[in-house]
């Protein structure tokens, strides 16, 4: 059997002020699987996300314990560059990732830092922009784009590095209905494993066949999305709510 796309074991972390954010988190994501991580504010979702490519944790000089493996490769100092290639994180605010004068240069930033040949960088940029439907804005300044367009460009910048796992932080936030639908179609068409951190429970149901509930730095539930979101007591116990009258969609999701 192939190695899990992402495997987290016994992950614990305390911030310098002594706040313990994670308590022995275990998580496995299979190749091609899409998994939603949900939970109330302060549950540890962002802390978990930042451990997946070494932004936080022991490798970054923090107080974390536990292990992270991506495609079987252990996250440690000597593997950090490769892990960051394999795990692409798209943050909630795309302006945190877009900082160069043109869309094309922003998307090229990751591949250029991998010391790839110029021809390969050009190919990857063109392919990534095509996959997110943004080829026609390659020469524009990112600040001139809509929020939804910026988010798709940020995803293109990550896809251009050919990651094994795509991590999305609140991907549906601040999107209008059309941009929300377009992003869902984009995510559904990806071959990569996807880990989606979100408060948007209907979006989790639409895109992910599996759902993990994180609260108080611990995994309190992990199972099929329809089971997790259909458990009203579980949701209420962890300050999660579905929109009034909303029902789980019928879908075929990996």
Given a cut of 60, whether residue 21 has pLDDT beyond it is yes
Give the number of other CB atoms < 10 A from CB of residue 107. 32
Q: Which of 78, 51, 82, 50 is nearest to 67 (CA)?
A: 51
**Contacts of residue 26, Cβ cutoff 8 Å, sequence gap at least 6:** 8, 9, 10, 11, 219
How large is the average pLDDT for residues 14-19? 90
For residues 18-32, one letter each, b for 16 or more C-beta atoms within 10 angstroms of the residue's C-beta and e for the rest, the string is eeebbeebebebbbe
Q: Out of 3.40.50.300, 3.30.70.270, 3.50.50.60, 3.30.470.20, select the CATH number for domain 6-237.
A: 3.40.50.300
Q: What was the pLDDT predicted at 254?
A: 46
Distances (CA, A) of 230 to 57, 214, 250: 34, 17, 13
Q: Which 8-state DSSP code applies to residue 77?
A: G
Give the model's pLDDT for residue 64.
76
In 10 A of CB 122, how many CB atoms?
Answer: 14
Whole-angstrom distance between the N-terminal and C-terminal Cα of the chain? 18
Q: What is the pTM of this model?
A: 0.91
Mind listing the pLDDT tens digit for each residue in 147-195? Answer: 999 999 999 999 999 999 999 999 999 999 999 999 999 999 999 999 9
Helix/strand/coil percent split, the chain, to 5: 40, 25, 40
What are the tens digits of pLDDT across the range 61-120? Answer: 777 789 999 999 999 999 999 999 999 999 999 998 899 999 999 999 999 999 899 999
What ranges do the domains of the chain cover? 6-237
- What integer pLDDT is reported at residue 1 of this predicted model? 54
For the cut 50, the answer to whether the pLDDT of residue 253 exceeds it is no
């Amino acid at each position: 059997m192939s190695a899990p796309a992402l495997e987290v074991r016994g992950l614990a972390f305390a911030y310098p002020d002594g706040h313990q954010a994670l308590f022995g988190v275990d998580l496995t994501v299979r190749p091609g699987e899409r998994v939603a991580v949900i939970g109330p504010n302060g549950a540890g979702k962002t802390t978990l996300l930042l451990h997946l490519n070494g932004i936080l944790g022991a490798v970054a000089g923090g107080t974390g314990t536990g292990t992270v493996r991506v495609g079987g490769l252990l996250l440690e100092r000597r593997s950090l560059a490769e892990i960051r290639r394999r795990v692409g994180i798209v943050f909630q605010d795309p302006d945190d990732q877009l900082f160069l004068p043109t869309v094309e240069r922003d998307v090229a930033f990751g591949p250029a830092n991998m010391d790839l040949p110029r021809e390969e960088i050009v190919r990857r940029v063109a392919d990534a922009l095509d996959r997110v439907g943004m080829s026609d804005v390659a020469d524009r300044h990112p600040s001139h784009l809509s929020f939804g367009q910026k988010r798709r460009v940020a995803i293109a910048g990550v896809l251009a590095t050919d990651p094994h796992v795509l991590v999305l932080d609140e991907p549906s936030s601040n999107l209008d209905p059309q941009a929300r639908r377009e992003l869902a179609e984009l995510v559904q068409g990806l071959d990569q494993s996807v880990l989606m951190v979100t408060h948007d429970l209907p979006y989790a149901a639409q895109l992910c066949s599996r759902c993990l509930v994180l609260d108080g730095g611990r995994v309190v539930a992990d199972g099929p999305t329809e089971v997790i979101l259909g458990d009203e007591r579980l949701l209420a116990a962890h300050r999660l709510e579905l929109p009034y009258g909303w029902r789980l969609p019928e879908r075929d999701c990996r």
